[in-house]
Amino acid sequence: MGVGDPLQRKWEGSAWQVGEENQNVTVTARSIALTPQLNGVLVHQTAGFEHVKRRHYLFVAIGRKLALAWKGSEGDGPTWSKVEVSEPLPDGGQSFFFFNGFMYPAENGAEDEPDSLEVASYRWNAQKSVIESVPMRESSSSIVALIAGIYDTVAEARKAMRSHSDCLREFLILSADSLPQVPKGKVAIAAISTKANLAESAVAECAPALRIQVEKLSAPR
Amino acid sequence: MPDIKDSVGEGCANLGHDVALVQAMLQVVKNAKGAPYFNGAYDGVYSPQTKAAITDFQTDNKLANAPNLPNAPNLLKAPNSPPGLDKVAVIKAGSVTLKKLVASLPAEYSTMRIIEKTKTVYLEGDGAAAIASQGQVGAHPDLDVSFRANVARLIEVMFTTHKIVLSIAPQGARRTFQQQADLKPGVTQAGPGESNHNFGRAVDIGFKGIKWLASDGTIVQDDWWFNKMVKVSAAKTVEFWETRDRIADIVSPNLFRIGTWDQPHLQSFSDAKVSMGRSLVGLLNAVGKMKWAHGGGRPNHYKSDFGLGGKTYDVGTSKQIWAGNATVTKAMLAEAQSAAQSAKLKKVIVIEEADIKDADLGALKTSLKADFQAADSNWIKWTPVP
């Protein structure tokens, strides 16, 4: 790669970009400590102009071979995804979270559905040498929901969101299907993050009047 | 009406789509005890369980000779075989077993279908909805005339061929520059005036309302983008998109895709050699009051002469210009006005940066946006350029 060894602990990551508009592909990579002894490299690929899509890959050196240990991708339509790596866990390894969202396109109030967001937690199983999905309630990393308001209808939530659109760009309109903290039949303007303090302070700086409720996310879908 | 193309059973062709459809039918048809004939997940793979389900259905309905008699399973070859019965454990197109199986389907499953070379069973869509969708697209005032005719024809042929209703997703036809600006970050990198949706040359068209059968036979009603099916299998959704694309290719050579990363999108031109940034500049120069140039970069930057006829200056991205936040400075405006006055009066005129007021910059940003607004209003004049 010409940028050092991404499987080394101290590697700081890098980014590459080629092509313009619909030929544009951006690749970023960073290392992750799967165990104190084993590093992996997370590769994120973003492509497209008209419709942007992301793919995520985790590569691990097992023996002397590089293996694809996990991959995540998006479906069709107005989707969005990201991977966040946890702080080091007590055993020295790191877990990671895959966020996969769908932003329902609102058009004149018709067909107005809430957005959706799925969060999955993954950890390396050293005995089996595989990545495994870990129930969120068993994840010892802190992951929280930032709730900027609860509303009776999607239309009301969209209206409220539009009035703070610059400050709530990372937020979605979620129902209880995506976020158990939302009362049944209602929707919330919410974001989910492992970096609650950063997200909260960013919103507070941008829109001081907004009150953000922070909820520990114990068991999202 | 559910139909198979060939035959399913012992010694038969057992094409995946035929097997899947027969399995799904035997899954929803119940025996006298209320149990499904086929108890597994329908998967299009002929198996002993499939054979047993066919045989049990034939036995219960006296459609073939009992399989436990000598010479089974090919009893029709036996000398005393009753006429009009099927071979044991065999279902052929047009056979009495298939007719009986179709007649036994619960009402909500009576229109089960499957596309050749796929393995997902779905229910026929509503013909009236297809006609309405076709009519809506064919007369859509915000779509290029030739393009909308091709899309309307796609909707028509998709329904006549596969009984599937296609329709345009919300925000999937023409988007105004403001609607483009309002899109969430991460969904698109195209700013106002940079999307082919801004010029009536693209649609996002999908499968809203389609009802397909989960592997256990449960009916699932899906959305334009197959949001539910993709959670089961992305490959299954690809089969449907590829079917739509095959029809699109039959209908017109001018229904283009943008790769496979976002399947709903169709557009009227190939963007392999098209620059949306330079195309926007062409439209701005055709309908605006200023001279515009493409500044390149990721994202696209734009240059303007401020309507003064001289050098062009980088005024930022389309998002910045549309938001009224063009990256103009007093130094730029002073230099441009100095050059314009000097040329007009044929002597050197120097306008200092200090002479430029905040209101002048504000007015310039408004004028820059006004050219974009003119482009938005004159979207029909847009042409793709390399």
pLDDT in tens, B172-193: 999 999 999 988 878 899 999 9
Closest-CA residue of chain A to B235: A75
Interface check B56 vs A, CB under 8 A: no
Interface check B386 vs A, CB under 8 A: no
Candidate from A21, A77, A102 with C-beta closest to B264: A77
- Stretch B85-109: mean pLDDT, rounded? 94
Top pLDDT among A146 and B51 is at B51
| Structural domain span for residue B142 | 127-267
d(CA B168, CA B274): 24
- Assess whether B302 and B377 both reside in one domain: yes
A221 — pLDDT class (breaks 50, 70, 90): very low
- Assess whether B185 and B284 both reside in one domain: no
| Whether pLDDT at B121 is above 60 | yes
End position of a domain, from candidates B202, B235, B267: B267
End position of a domain, from candidates B267, B294, B319: B267
Chain A hits for B172, CB-CB cut-off 8 Å, are 105
Mean pLDDT estimate for chain B = 93
- Assess whether B95 and B220 both reside in one domain: no
Closest-CA residue of chain B to A100: B231
pLDDT in tens, B277-288: 999 999 999 999
Closest-CA residue of chain A to B184: A169
Candidate from B190, B230, B261 with C-beta closest to A53: B261
Chain B hits for A22, CB-CB cut-off 8 Å, are 258-259, 271
Share of chain B above pLDDT 90, in %: 88
Taking only Cα atoms into account, the Rg of chain B, rounded to an integer number of angstroms, comes to 31
The helix or strand, by DSSP H or E, that contains position A26, with its residue range, turns out to be strand A25-33
B343 — pLDDT class (breaks 50, 70, 90): very high
Taking the whole predicted model, whether its pTM rises above 0.80 is answered as yes
Interface check B206 vs A, CB under 8 A: yes
**ipTM at complex level:** 0.83
Tell how strand B265-267 and strand B292-296 pair up.
unpaired
Q: Count the domains in chain B.
A: 3
Interface check B273 vs A, CB under 8 A: no
pLDDT in tens, A9-18: 666 667 888 8
Q: Which string of b and e fits A30-54 if b means at least 16 CB within 10 Å?
A: bbbbbbeebbbbbbbbbbbbbbbbb
Residue-level pLDDT at A109: 56
CATH number of the structural domain spanning residue B143: 3.30.1380.10
Burial label, B233 (beta-carbon count in 10 A; 0-12, 13-18, 19+): middle
Cβ contact (<8 Å) for B171 and A107?
A: yes
Residue-level pLDDT at B82: 58
| Whether pLDDT at B78 is above 60 | no
Top pLDDT among B80 and B262 is at B262
Between chain A and chain B, how many beta carbons pairs sit less than 8 Å apart?
97
β-pair partners for A191? A146
End position of a domain, from candidates B267, B295, B320: B267
- Assess whether B166 and B53 both reside in one domain: no
- Helix extents (H) in B198-299: 229-232, 234-251, 276-287
**B262 within a domain of the structure (yes/no):** yes
pLDDT in tens, A177-213: 888 888 999 999 998 887 767 777 777 777 777 788 8
- Assess whether B103 and B178 both reside in one domain: no
Burial label, A73 (beta-carbon count in 10 A; 0-12, 13-18, 19+): middle
Interface check B258 vs A, CB under 8 A: yes
**B2 within a domain of the structure (yes/no):** no
Residue-level pLDDT at B385: 94
Chain A hits for B237, CB-CB cut-off 8 Å, are 75-76
